[in-house]
Amino acid sequence: MREKPTLRGQFFWAALKMLALSLLVGVAVIVVVMVIFTQRVPDGDKFLVSSLSFLFGKETMGPGGMIPVLVLAGVLLCLLVAGVCTLVTSRLTGRLTATLKTLRQAADNLREGDLDFQIMACDEKELDELSQSLESVRQRLKTAAVAEATAQEERGLLMANLSHDLRTPITAIKGYVEGIQDGIANTPEKQRHYLDIVYNKSLLLEKLVRNMSDFSEYELGRMQYHFEYVEMSPFLQDLSEEYQADVGRNGMSFTSQIPRGHYVVTADRSKLKRVLDNLISNAIKYGRPQGEIALVAEEYEKGLVIQVSDNGKGISTQALRHVFDSFFRADSARTSSVPGSGLGLAICRSIVDSHHGKIWLTSEEGEGTRAFIYLPLQKEEGML
């Protein structure tokens, strides 16, 4: 690919061209004047030879007659040189002005938010580099605008889903409380049953509000952490007992393999629990009826790997690439009967990244999904 000329090179070659053309034109004018003089003036050739001899300091005859001719030739030469310089410079500046006008229009379009155009390449190297930079900015702005429009649409859908999810338990709580007030629950057993339902619905409301709070913190990048040294064996053991009950209520079986030993990580307990809660919740949502969910932890390369697995329907290879994107769901939120905002795994990744760890998923359709969390272990000498 031929390298584009620079502006300095353009002006340098333009100056050389003007000089060369001026010399050629000057020489041509002088030659023409001499030819005309020798043809129109009697004995002009002899007089011209004698005049040239006078210019070189030799004997001359009537040199005064040659002075007007030389003055005329000089004036014509200056006029022609000026004309040639003006023509060449006008062409160069005209081309540069047109290019700069195009780039200025492109900058105005970017300022006004009009991104549906393309900035073409320029012939000059510096201007071409500038046009490429502006085109790169335009493409990035357009990509960001498309992503923002998509995110805005998904935010609206999220708010609609959350509003619906909030309305459902609120309506249920209101109905059962009215049933108690109106005396429909006229036995202690019925009242206890109604109160249990109200309590469970209030737990669901609490979870939804927490999700909304997490979403706001995630969007604003203001998620607060309270890090401390956490003994992972008792921490995971306590969670396993909690998950055992949750999974059992959904008609599924739960197993855990927690290593005994001294495994300490620097973590925020509530945020780390939030990650595991989300993984277990996903396993319950997408697992098979009467399926199996397992929580396994083991040491690996100066860290602790926590695995949550299920034997559900799995995730396609294409969807697996996007599961950590905000608002992404393998099943469309508009059509899927499985509730959710599509933010859980995005928030989980943000939390795990803040713990200097890693999170990833593997899955096979029809076989199940495994989620992995890697957390670096705290060195003994770094303990408080």
pLDDT at 272: 94
- The two structure tokens encoding residue 135: 């085109």
pLDDT at 338: 39
Q: What gap in Å lies between CA 316 and CA 330, rounded to an integer?
A: 8
The residues pairing with 293 across neighbouring beta strands, listed in sequence order, are 254, 310
The stretches in the chain having pLDDT less than 70 are: 1-12, 15, 19, 23, 26-27, 30, 33-34, 37-78, 82, 154, 157-158, 326-343, 380-384
Q: What gap in Å lies between CA 299 and CA 375, rounded to an integer?
A: 10
pLDDT at 232: 94
* Torsion sign over Cα 18, 21, 27, 30: negative
Determine the 3-state secondary structure of 125 from DSSP: helix
Q: Got the DSSP string for 290-309?
A: T-EEEEEEEE-SSEEEEEEE
pLDDT in tens, 173-229: 999 898 888 888 888 888 889 998 998 888 888 877 877 777 777 777 778 889 999
Helix-then-strand count for the chain, H and E: 9, 7
Cβ contacts of residue 204 below 8 Å, gap of 6+? 169
Q: How far is residue 261 from each of residues 228, 234, 235, 296, 300, measured CA to CA in Å?
A: 18, 10, 12, 14, 14
Q: What gap in Å lies between CA 206 and CA 268, rounded to an integer?
A: 20
